[in-house]
Amino acid sequence: MPPEDLDRLVERMVDGSEQSRRQFIRHLAGAGLLVGPGSAFLAACGGVKGESSGKKVSAAVHHPKVPIGDWTFSNWPLYIDKSVLKTFNKRYGGNVKYLEDINDNFEFFGKVRQQLQAHQSIGRDIVTLTDYMAARWVRDGFVTAIDHANVPNMKNLVPELQHPKYDPNRNYSLPWQSGGVGLGYDRRKTGRELTSVKDFFDPKFKGRVSFLSEPYDSAGMVMLGDGINATNATLDQIMAAIDKIEKAQKSGQIRRFTGNDYTTDLTKGNLWVAMAYSGDVVALQADNPHLEFAFPEEGSMEFTDNMMIPAKAAHPYAAETMMNYVYEPAVAAKIAAYVNYIPPVQGVKEILAAKDPKLAANPLIFPPDAVRKRLHAYPTLSPADERAMEARMAQVVGG
């Protein structure tokens, strides 16, 4: 998928404006492009031919309490209120090296793939990956099991995220934030409220529509629009949805496929309707108050980014202590207030309601039950099906 232009990055360089984390996601991937093909090539040069064993790590683990020391946390850009890290260091000792080096699930996987497949440490104690990539890591044994005794606050995890198919007991993963995919649009340009997936295909918006390049998101949304339960979709249904996207692309309806870089085009008016992530639009409203976000009536794909301890991590106890810490509702509230995504921790809304009622009333951070019911998790695909889907989508996105 084409990551991503750098305009947002450039803008930030120019005016130093604050922005939410997802806007940055693929921009840095864009920056990576400049050196990227070379570095990816070097990575490929190593020529690790190791077949992943696919074995699961044992779930019953015990990580003894040790001093926290220096440890490493990899996350997406602008995905935490950094004061949380400082407080953590103060309270538990040690020093967390916080890397904002995940800009794209696949790109990040490409970066650490060789070490993982060679059963080496990747030098990180927590990584935060989206469901489908998290599933891949669990399935291929690239993770260290979480010692639940060290994360008692896991009890605060919202019920609907407790049993994902790829990790039914949350032995290897713990949600960081969730968000929804929906219609991000400029109310002045569209001239009306948008409520349906069909609005992406409205010929009045020809050439002013962007889709997400990730098929889990875009094909998922198209299927929901066609009344298919995307969570249980078959490969054939997914392929049909991608065909439909291709048709819209060829006809000129879709102007671009994007990661998070729809944000600039949307604020500038080049795009009228973007397939968007909920948290972004909350942040963009500061730049352009006419921007709206709607969860379509047919439903929305919901993504969750998950904290995981990579295999051979050197500081699992530190990682678990952090997981436990961010599952304290007060800490989770702080993060939610900063990132504008859906917090996976119970009790956050009550805390925010006391501090900042406006934020607590924001339907994008705390979707009402009617919306929540229409949020759909990504389908669980076999590795071969997933590859087929990604390859097909790459063809469409690649022109």
The encoded tokens of residue 74 equal 């990899």
Q: Is the dihedral of CA 90, 93, 94, 100 positive or negative?
A: negative
How does strand 209-212 pair with strand 173-186?
Answer: unpaired
Can you tell me which residue has the tokens 């969570």?
231
Residue with smaller CB distance to another protein, 93 or 398: 398
Q: Say what the alpha-carbon torsion angle 220, 79, 152, 361 is, to the nearest 10 degrees.
A: -70
Region of 145 on the Ramachandran plot (φ > 0 left; ψ -120 to 50 alpha; else beta): beta
- Select the residue interacting with another protein from 2, 179, 180, 367 (CB under 8 A): 2
359 burial (CB, 10 Å; 0-12 / 13-18 / 19+) is middle
CB of 52 to another protein, least distance (A): 5
92 makes contact with another protein (CB under 8 A): no
Nearer to another protein, 167 or 261 (CB): 261
Residue 108 or 317 with smaller CB distance to another protein: 108
Residue 280 as a binder of another protein (CB under 8 A): the answer is no
106 is an interface residue for another protein by CB under 8 A = yes
Find the distance separating the first CA and the last CA of the chain, reported in whole Å.
10
Please, which residue, 74 or 321, has the CB nearer to another protein? 74
Cα 236 to Cα 248: distance, rounded to the nearest angstrom: 19
Segments in the chain forming alpha helices (H): 7-15, 25-45, 83-92, 105-117, 131-139, 187-190, 215-225, 235-250, 262-268, 278-284, 316-326, 329-339, 348-355, 357-360, 369-373, 383-397
Under the criterion CB under 8 A, does residue 382 sit at the interface with another protein? no
Number of chain positions touching another protein (CB under 8 A):
56
Q: Which of residues 171-200 bind another protein (CB under 8 A)?
A: none
Would you say 51 or 369 has its CB closer to another protein? 51
In the complex with another protein, the residue whose CB is nearer, 64 or 399, is 399
Q: Which stretch binds another protein (CB under 8 A): 153-161, 231-239, 251-259, 306-314?
A: 251-259
Within positions 35 to 54, which residues make up the interface with another protein, using CB under 8 A? 36-37, 40-41, 44-45, 47-52
How far is 378 from 215, CA to CA, in rounded Å?
10
Residue whose CB is less far from another protein, 6 or 371 = 6
CB of 69 to another protein, least distance (A): 32
Q: Which of 12, 109, 196, 374 binds another protein (CB under 8 A)?
A: 109
Map the footprint of another protein across residues 113-142, applying CB under 8 A. 113, 117, 136, 140
* Segment contacting another protein by CB under 8 A, of 16-24, 32-40, 302-310, 339-347: 32-40
- Site stretch for another protein (CB under 8 A), options 24-32, 81-89, 124-132, 356-364: 24-32
Q: How many angstroms separate the Cα of 82 from the Cα of each of 88, 233, 335, 375?
A: 10, 39, 9, 29
- Please identify, using beta-carbon distances, which residue of 109 and 166 lies nearer to another protein: 109
Q: Rounded to whole angstroms, how far apart are CA atoms 51 and 35?
A: 28
Tokens for 348, please give them. 């956050």
Tell me the three state secondary structure of residue 96: strand
Q: Please tell me the distance from the alpha carbon of residue 250 to that of residue 257, in angstroms, as a whole number.
A: 12
CB of 348 vs another protein, minimal distance in Å: 33
Point out which residues bind another protein (CB under 8 A): 1-7, 10, 29-30, 32-34, 36-37, 40-41, 44-45, 47-52, 104, 106-107, 109-110, 113, 117, 136, 140, 207-208, 249-250, 252, 254-257, 268-270, 383, 387, 390-391, 394-399
